[in-house]
Amino acid sequence: MRVLGIESSCDETGIALYDTEKGLLAHALFSQIEMHAEYGGVVPELASRDHIQKALPLMQQVLDEAGLQRKDIDAVAYTAGPGLVGALLVGAAIGRSLAWALTIPALPINHMEGHLLSPLLEANPPAFPFVSLLISGGHTLLVDVKGVGEYELMGESIDDAVGEAFDKTAKMLGLGYPGGPALAALAEKGQEGAHIFPRPMTNRPGLDFSFSGLKTFALNTWHNSDQSEQARADIALAFQTAAVETLVIKCRRALKQSGHKRLVVAGGVSANKSLRAALDALPKVQVYYPQLQFCSDNGAMIAFAGAMRHQAMVVETEATFNVRSRWPLDELTPPASA
Ligand code: KG4
Ligand code: ZN
């Protein structure tokens, strides 16, 4: 079975074809980062308009690369939330129309489930159950995963997502948008121990996070510094070290609480090298990540999530569809035949 995946929840148009027997056949991505960088963040209306322009050419590119035609697609999976409503509507409208025209199933996919399952695209995928740490620009979640669609929320951020805190701190340090990768690169030039930032919410029980204070701490440290290049790098390192250690402490706690021995990390921030090094050093735990190109938003994870759910699909004859700006993971249920 071949599933076409369409991702358009934010500032990346991602299209991919996943074959349940052969694996990922082809994928293509267009990032709008350059366009939004000018405004210091994502402009939703511009994002929607660009998805409209890029989705069909990318789809053609993916079909050409796979040597297939539209009639060879067996199902269409599209991101139906969470995300920017206008951007989501583009992928949903295209996905639904295509499925309608080809009389094949259309499957609305939860974007965070896409991230959560993305490490399963790799050659040695983790077996269920596992703890999932989902860290992106909009979410910081710890999830107890027993199977596809069996998600129990263990902890989440009560304010900024960790990626958002990276982005806001980077912006404050004048690093542009999106700041996560730039801040991580700058941290490499920082002096270890120049500043010690707090590890929020780690000295009390529980698995929730809070990252907005860390950003304020960085801002105050910057104002009290000589605002030199070295000061900038030292703050970047202190921020990253605190964010990483906070995530690691909570992961350790979540693993202990659940009894699971596998940790699966996904979402844009899972590309962070310092985080990967710290998690890989955890004793008696096997840690899994998506490959770097699938850490941030992409069509492959949506096609894959669609394939994982294909048993539950029925041929949708309705031409209506819905998207959701908010869609908690624990509202999902397993595919009917799982
Ligand atoms: O998953 P994603 O592409 O989009 C959302 O669904 O939000 O995640 C994007 C987030 C941004 O906040 C970006 O700054 C962050 O991931 N990010 C990083 C790194 N690469 C991307 N944060 C820290 N270190 C990185 N290397
Ligand atoms: Zn994402």
Counting as low any pLDDT under 70, the low residues of the chain are 311-319, 337-338
Among the bound ligands, name the one nearest to the CA of residue 302.
Answer: 2
pLDDT of residue 178: 83
User: What's the Cα-to-Cα distance from 102 to each of 21, 73, 240, 317, rounded to whole Å?
Assistant: 22, 8, 48, 11
The model's pLDDT over 263-302, given as tens digits with 9 standing for 90+, comes to 999 999 999 999 999 999 999 999 999 999 999 999 999 9
Three-state secondary-structure class, residue 320:
coil
Ligand 2 centroid – CA 229 distance (Å): 31
Give the type of residue at 194: A
∠ CA(248), CA(254), CA(258), 5° rounding? 150
Identify the pLDDT of residue 287. Answer: 98
pLDDT of residue 76: 96
Q: What is the pLDDT of residue 319?
A: 67
Structure-token match 């695209």, residue found: 121
The pLDDT score that the predictor gives to residue 317 is 52
Q: Ligand 1 centre and the CA of 186: distance in Å?
A: 15
What percent of the chain is predicted at pLDDT more than 70?
97
> Please, are residues 105 and 310 in contact by the beta-carbon 8 Å criterion?
yes
| Closest C-alpha to ligand 1, atom 13 | 180
What pLDDT shows up at residue 311?
Answer: 61
Q: Ligand 1 site: residues with CB under 6 angstroms?
A: 10, 136-138, 163-164, 166-167, 178-181, 184, 267-269, 271-272, 296-297
Burial grade of 133 (CB within 10 A; 0-12, 13-18, 19 or more): buried
Q: What are 307's two structure tokens? A: 């394939």
Report CA(202)–ligand 1 centroid distance (Å): 23
Give the pLDDT of residue 169.
97
Name the residues around ion ligand 2, CB cutoff 5 A.
136, 297
Instruction: State which of 11, 13, 36, 136 you would mutate to test the pocket of ligand 1, scoring each by most atoms of that ligand within 8 A of its C-beta.
Output: 136
Nearest protein CA to atom 14 of ligand 1, as residue: 180
* Residue nearest to ligand 1 atom 24, measured at CA: 272
Q: Residue 3: what pLDDT?
A: 97
Which atom of ligand 1 is closest in space to residue 9's alpha carbon? 6
Q: What is the pLDDT of residue 235?
A: 98
Q: How far is the CA of 12 from the centre of ligand 1 (A)?
A: 12
Distance 186 CA to ligand 2 centre (A): 23
Sign for the CA dihedral angle at 184, 185, 188, 194 comes to: negative
CA 115 to centroid of ligand 2, rounded, Å: 7
